[in-house]
Structure 1
Amino acid sequence: MKDKENTKRKLVLAVGKIIKEEGFTNLKISRIAKIAEVDRKLIYRYFGSLDYLVEAYILENDYWMVFRDQMKEMLLNKEFAGSEDMIIEILQNQFKFFSSQKDMQRLILWELSVKSPLMRSIHNTRESMGQEFLELADPHFADGKVNFRAIAALLVGGIYYTILHTLNNGGNFAGIDLNTESGKENILKAIGQIVGWAYKEA
C-alpha cells in the first residue's frame, strides 16, 4: 500500500512539473512516466487514464479546491462577522493565489483554448464549490436590488483576465503595475471596495 501511494504521489508531482515547465501540451503518458521514473502501466492501474491523473493534480492545486476546507473551518470558527468580510477574503485570496501559481494560470488558459470533457468537469466542480460561498451572500441580496452573483462573476473573471493579460503582455494593466507590491495592493483594495459598495447598495 505504501509503494502504491508513493507511486501515485510521484505521478501527480510529475504532472505538476510538466505543467509548470512545459505546459499542458506536453502531458503525455510516456513523458509523465519518465519524469516519475515509474512504469507507464501504473498510470492506468492507479488512475485509469491520463485525464484522471491530471484531474487528481488539479483537484489538489486549484484555488477553490485548496481553500474549500479552510474556508469551511473559518465559517465554523466564526472568524468573520458577516458574509461581506468572508467574500472579500475569498476573492482577495484568489487574486494572491492565482497571481503566484503558474500552473494554475496555464490551467485557465488551457480551459479557455480547448474543448475538453476533463476541463468541463473541473469547471463544474469549481463552480459547485463557488456556489457554496455565494450562498452565504444570498440572504443579504434577497430583495433583488443588487445582483451580487453577477458582480462576483465579473470580479472572478476580472481577476483571471488581469493576471493572464499581464503575464503575457507585461505587468501594466490600466496603468497599474502588477509586478509591484503597490500595484497588487491597489487591486486587493479595489476588490474590497467593490464588494463593500454592493453590500451598502443592497
Structure 2
Amino acid sequence: MTKKANITRDRSGTERVIVAAAKRVLAEQGFSAFGVNSIARAAGCDKQLIYRYFGGLDGLIEVLGREMSDQFGDMLGPIDPATCVTYSDFIEHMLLQLLRALRQSELLLRIAAWEIADASPITRKLAQVRGAALAAWVKDQRGPIAPPTDRDVGAINAALIAAVQHLALSAHAIGEFGGVRLADEADWSRVETAVSTLVRATYSHPDASVQRG
C-alpha cells in the first residue's frame, strides 16, 4: 500500500501532515514555491486532498495562520501580575518575549523578512494574522494597566517592535548589526539590556507608570 493510500485514511492526521508540509515549504523554499502542488509533494498526498479538506490554498493559509497565531501567543507567554505593574513593565516584557520568539522560530523570521522583501497576498495575510495575534495577546495580558495619554504610544511601540524584529533578522542573516555582534547568549543579554533601558527611558515619566486600578 502506498504512502498516499495510507495518508487518506485519517482526515485529522492528514490535515496535520499537510499543515506541517506547508510550514516546511515556507521555511525551506519561500513563498515563490508555496503552492498546492509543492505542498502536496512535501506532504506525500494527492493535491485534491488540499482542496477537499481546506478548500484550496486560501483555506490552508487560514488554518496555517491560526496555528501560527496560537504558537505565537504561547511564545509570548503570560505576564506576572506581581512584577508587571506599570505600562513600562508590560512593554518591556512584550518586547523581550517577542525577541526571544523570533530567535526561536526560523519560520517567523523568514515570514518577517518576506513581508518586507517580497510582499504578496500570502505574506500580507500572514502579517495580518501575526499582528492580530499580538493585539489579542496585549488585550488579554495587559488587564487594567493603561498606556500613558501624553505620548503617541502606537508610533513608539511600532518603532520598538521594528527595532527588535530587525535585530533578530540581522542576526539570522549576518550575525551582527551596526557593529554589534549578535551571535551568542552574551551578545543577546547585551541587546536585551539595551531594549529594557530604552523602554524604561521612554516610559519613565509618571504618566507612563499607570498603576492597576
Q: Could you say what the CA RMSD is over the residues aligned between the two structures, in angstroms?
A: 2.8
The structure richer in helix per residue is: 1
Where in structure 1 do 4 or more consecutive aligned residues deviate above 6 Å? none
Is 2:17 aligned against 1:13? no
Cα separation, 2, equivalents of 1:118 and 1:175? 34
Q: Which moved more, 1:106-115 or 1:127-136?
A: 127-136
Q: In the alignment, which of 5, 30, 36 is matched to residue 29 of structure 1?
A: 36
Q: Retained in 1: the 8 A contact 2:99–2:164?
A: yes
The amino acid that maps onto 2:34 is L
Cα separation, 2, equivalents of 1:96 and 1:70? 8
1:116-155 equivalent positions in 2, closer than 5 A: 116-132=120-136, 133=138, 136=142, 139-142=146-149, 144=150, 146-155=151-160
Is 2:204 aligned against 1:200? yes
Structure-1-length-normalised TM-score: 0.81
Alignment partner, residue 178 of structure 1: 182
Per-residue deviation at 1:80? 4.0
Q: In the alignment, which of 155, 162, 168 is matched to residue 163 of structure 1?
A: 168
Q: How many residues align?
A: 195
Alignment partner, residue 99 of structure 1: 103
Q: Retained in 2: the 8 A contact 1:140–1:199?
A: no
Alignment partner, residue 58 of structure 2: 51
Per-residue deviation at 1:79? 5.1
Structure with the larger RCO, 1 or 2 (CA within 8 Å, 6+ apart):
2
3-state DSSP class of the match of 1:8?
helix
Cα separation, 2, equivalents of 1:155 and 1:199? 12
Per-residue deviation at 1:87? 2.2
Cα separation, 2, equivalents of 1:42 and 1:147? 48
1:55-74 equivalent positions in 2, closer than 5 A: 55-62=62-69, 65-68=70-73, 74=78
Unaligned runs of 5+ in 1: none
3-state DSSP class of the match of 2:45?
coil
Alignment partner, residue 117 of structure 2: 113
Evaluate the alpha carbon distance shift between residue 67 and residue 175 of structure 1 in structure 2; reply closer, same or farther with a 3 A threshold: same
Cα separation, 1, equivalents of 2:129 and 2:190? 30
3-state DSSP class of the match of 2:122?
helix
3-state DSSP class of the match of 1:200?
coil
The amino acid that maps onto 2:57 is L
Alignment partner, residue 81 of structure 2: 78
Structure-2-length-normalised TM-score: 0.77
Larger radius of gyration: 2
Cα separation, 1, equivalents of 2:109 and 2:116? 11
Cα separation, 2, equivalents of 1:11 and 1:44? 11
Per-residue deviation at 1:68? 3.0
The amino acid that maps onto 1:12 is V
Is 2:87 aligned against 1:87? no
Unaligned runs of 5+ in 2: 1-8, 209-213
